[in-house]
Amino acid sequence: MNQLHHEKLLYLHEAFDMGHEMCLIEEFVSGGELFEKIVEEDSLMSEDEVRDYMHQILLAVAHMHKNNIVHLDLKPENILLKNKTSTDIKIIDFGLARKLDPNKTVKLLFGTPEFCAPEVVNYQAVSFGTDMWTTGVISYVLLSGLSPFLGDTDEETLANVSAADWDFEDPAWDDVSDLAKDFICRLMVKDKRRRMTVQQALQHPWIVGPMLAAFEDLSDYVKVC
């Protein structure tokens, strides 16, 4: 956390090693979980709102990846609002975060089934792409209010993730733009090498939003899942 000072990441003021335990003095964030905002309002966010939150998440992830750190536990519960009236977010919970070393392989034994990437489920090496998969899942959840891989049991959920078995068939997607769907399609790809990097995601036309007018024709950009 000392290497992750960024306005979109929870700030660590001090850390005290007390031998048998660690005491962390962290920034106070009072707005609650982003997930709670969805539940409390009992209605879907607008696509513009989701775009804004995803842009902020990508900025945070970009800072982490620039420092060769992967979060590995991104999910709506780990995204807080600064206060009750703010739309500014803070990413928290770096308990699973790792600094990647090109000469070492990192594998993960833990995670939240609905937000795990296929390589985590299959106990394969994680990478920056692991965070990008999860970013796609968060986008899916915020835009539709649905969990793309949720099964009746954790085992069923993990099997769905491993197979990368998801779609846009629910009526909740009828009013979502093709650009938003394309953004998700380029992240929730089973082969982690084919997922967008965080910089590519930040430059995606859906995230760029208001600047889309600068593009004469986006028809070649948008693909069909």
Given the structure tokens 């394969």, which residue do they identify? 124
Task: For the beta carbon of residue 33, count every other beta carbon within 10 angstroms.
Answer: 16
* Residue 42 falls in the annotated catalytic set: no
Contact residues for 220 (Cβ-Cβ < 8 A; gap 6+): none
Catalytic residue among 73, 101, 165, 175: 73
99: phi then psi, degrees, rounded to nearest 5:
-90, 125
Q: What are 216's two structure tokens?
A: 């004469």
Catalytic residues: 73
